[in-house]
Amino acid sequence: MSASALGVFPSDEQRAAARVLVVGDVMLDRYWFGEVHRISPEAPVPVVHVSRSEDRLGGAANVARNAATLGAHVTLVGVVGDDDSGRAIARLCEDEGVRADLVADPSVPTTMKMRVLGRQQQLLRVDFEQPPSPGVLAELAARVALHIADHDVVVLSDYAKGVLDQVQDLIALARARGCVVLVDPKGDDYGRYRGASLVTPNQSEMREAVGRWRDEAQLAERAQHLRQALDLEALLVTRSELGMTLFTAEGRDHVEALAREVFDVSGAGDTVIATLAVMRAAGLDLHVAMRWANLAGGIVVGKLGTSIVTPDELRAGLAI
């Protein structure tokens, strides 16, 4: 991609002035790393001798982490359990420069994905999750209302864990305050996201919403119909090795994928929407912001697990 297509990377001052509020399904990603030397005598499964473990922010918290790494002022609102995993998320947010306002729900565990890896290959993932109680969602909405006036862009990160069950109310609140609302969706009921500024389904999620398409023309027709039906300013379909396609009232804008090598796609959508949010909050138009997000996505899939992209990597990434 040419530097002219991306324009000038926002300055430190511009990015520091960007105010991003992230709301959604907060998770802890826990990694157990080890070596495999034998098969268990108890069952035909590998035995992993764990040598180290690492906790990372996941889900909406990974979005917030990525946005903060790019230099923005970031607030995270979500739900955790009253447990060690929830407290670990709070500590990690502090370490990453994210202002976390987390609602503790003592009736559920913190959502956690635990991955077991042998020689850098994922062997098993164990999930711990339960939907939050209705009273906690009311408290979440009150926290969002408290913070929203201090932010320019709101990111709603939906992983279908229940935190965004009342997402329509949050979109209405954000739009009433003049915020740009970016949604990373989940499921096939996109009516829930009516009135958002931008929705960013991946290719699989787009098929859930509109069905399979036979060619680019049919995709454009269905995407524009969905965009208009939901009163969206734009719809961005992230398409892995096919790049990204943006649909607006002006038409279709496509950018080719930039990944040199795909190692791990987990969390790539978080990096993409976080980069979009920071670039929009820093004053870039949507088409240029998409190109920076595409570059960030191409970099992060070359890393293991939920990861981040730094400003220096983006500046250097023009050589991809």
Active site residues: 270
Pairwise CA distance, residues 187 & 167, whole Å: 13
Pairwise CA distance, residues 76 & 101, whole Å: 6
Nearest to 5 by CA among 312, 319, 292: 292
Sequence-distant (≥ 6) Cβ neighbours of residue 111 within 8 angstroms: 25, 26, 27, 28, 58, 59, 80, 127, 128, 129, 159, 161
Crossing angle of helices 286-300 and 268-281, rounded to 10°: 150
Token output for 37 = 């030397």
Q: Tokens 């939901």 appear where? A: 230
Apex 162 CA angle, 29 and 205, nearest 5 = 80
Sequence-distant (≥ 6) Cβ neighbours of residue 27 within 8 angstroms: 57, 58, 59, 60, 61, 62, 110, 111, 112, 113, 159, 161
DSSP code for 81: E
